[in-house]
């Protein structure tokens, strides 16, 4: 049993997977969620449920949050019952949501003013890698805070790196996800080139996987992608809604940092169109099918 007690804030798919993995590693885990019923899977894995953030903060040594967006985090942090109203001095806070770098920096300022160490660690990977400890961790924070967080994060990640100060990890996460989101668009256009050739999705995907055009996602998720290209959409753990959100964040960050991202802007319009057609909850490869059939 590890001596550190960990509090998980947010028990969506990733928060639950992180809690489950840490319990398997011997940590004592407490969880809190704005909708208590959605913490059922985490408690079934052995986590203790807290119905109040105050109780979770006072009962744990390390806080980990994984929430949908910045608006959700602001709600959790602020207010008379929020995290910043609690005594968190001396604790460690690991924030694992995908946000803008500037948003992470705002959260850091509030947390560190309360005497709590802060590390951001957005991750590459979804539920299955999280359960196996195979995520890719991209950390931002002070060196000493990162060293405190590292033993915990190494249990969740196949590779965890300190990229720089808070904000750098979020920038790296957006950079990692951006080519994937664009790839689904280009794969759809590649299928358009092959229209009328009578080739199955399985054949095309396998040929691409063995070529220089075959990214890791194509090799790792071959069956789902091939089936999607042949016309069957599959629910996604990192779905079109999530990809669309990250594209929008990348464009917002580009505006803040003075970059021009014309390809990303065009891709976002395609994702928004697909979401409007009801494809938001499906695997990213459904974007490829959607484009090829337009």
Rounded CA separation 121/116 (Å): 16
For residue 30, the number of C-alpha atoms closer than 13 Å in the C-beta half-sphere is: 18
CB within 8 Å of 104: residues ≥ 6 apart? 95, 120, 140, 166, 167, 169, 170
Of 52-61, 65-74, 214-223, 263-272, the one with minimum mean pLDDT is 214-223
Give the per-residue pLDDT at 86. 97
What pLDDT band is residue 2 in, cutting at 50, 70 and 90?
A: confident
Indicate whether 1 pLDDT > 80: no
* 30, burial (CB in 10 Å: exposed 0-12, middle 13-18, buried 19+): buried
User: What does pLDDT average to over the chain?
Assistant: 96
Mean pLDDT of 92-115: 97
Percent of the chain with pLDDT over 70: 100
* pLDDT single digits (tens) 133-175: 999 999 999 999 999 999 999 999 999 999 999 999 999 999 9
Q: Are 247 and 275 in contact (CB under 8 A)?
A: no
Instruction: Output the CA torsion sign for 69, 75, 76, 78.
Output: positive
Question: Cα 209 from chain centroid?
Answer: 25
Give the per-residue pLDDT at 20. 98
User: CA dihedral defined by 183, 186, 192, 193, rounded to 10 degrees?
Assistant: -120
More confident residue, 79 or 267: 267
CATH 3.40.50.720 in the chain is located at 5-164
Report the topology of domain 171-293. 1.10.1040
CATH 1.10.1040.10 in the chain is located at 171-293
Rounded CA separation 236/279 (Å): 10
Indicate whether 187 pLDDT > 80: yes
For domain 5-164, the CATH architecture is: 3-Layer(aba) Sandwich (3.40)
Indicate whether 107 pLDDT > 70: yes
Indicate whether 28 pLDDT > 90: yes
């Amino acid at each position: 049993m590890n001596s550190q007690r960990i509090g998980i804030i947010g028990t969506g798919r990733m928060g639950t997977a992180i809690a489950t993995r840490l319990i398997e590693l011997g940590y004592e885990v407490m969880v809190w969620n704005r909708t208590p019923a959605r913490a059922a899977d985490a408690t079934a894995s052995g986590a203790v449920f807290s119905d109040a953030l105050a109780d979770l903060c006072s009962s744990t040594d390390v806080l980990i949050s994984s929430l949908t967006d910045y608006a959700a985090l602001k709600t959790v942090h602020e207010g008379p019952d929020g995290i910043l109203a609690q005594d968190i001095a001396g604790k460690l806070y690991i924030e694992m949501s995908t946000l803008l770098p500037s948003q992470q920096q705002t959260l850091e300022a509030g947390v560190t003013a309360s005497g709590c160490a802060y590390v951001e660690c957005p991750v590459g990977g979804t539920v299955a890698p999280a359960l196996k400890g195979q995520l890719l961790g991209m950390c931002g924070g002070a060196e000493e805070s990162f060293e405190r967080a590292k033993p915990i994060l190494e249990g969740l990640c196949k590779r965890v790196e300190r990229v720089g100060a808070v904000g750098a990890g979020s920038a790296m996460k957006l950079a990692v996800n951006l080519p994937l989101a664009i790839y689904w668009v280009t794969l759809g256009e590649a299928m358009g080139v092959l229209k009328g050739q009578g080739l199955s999705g399985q054949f095309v995907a396998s040929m691409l996987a063995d070529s220089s055009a075959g990214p890791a996602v194509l090799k790792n998720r071959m069956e789902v992608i091939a089936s999607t290209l042949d016309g069957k959409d599959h629910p996604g753990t990192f779905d079109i809604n999530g990809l669309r959100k990250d594209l929008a964040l990348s464009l917002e960050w580009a505006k803040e940092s003075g970059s021009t991202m014309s390809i990303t802007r065009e891709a976002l319009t395609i994702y928004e169109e697909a979401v409007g057609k009801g494809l938001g909850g499906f695997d990213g490869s459904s974007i490829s099918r959607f484009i090829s059939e337009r």
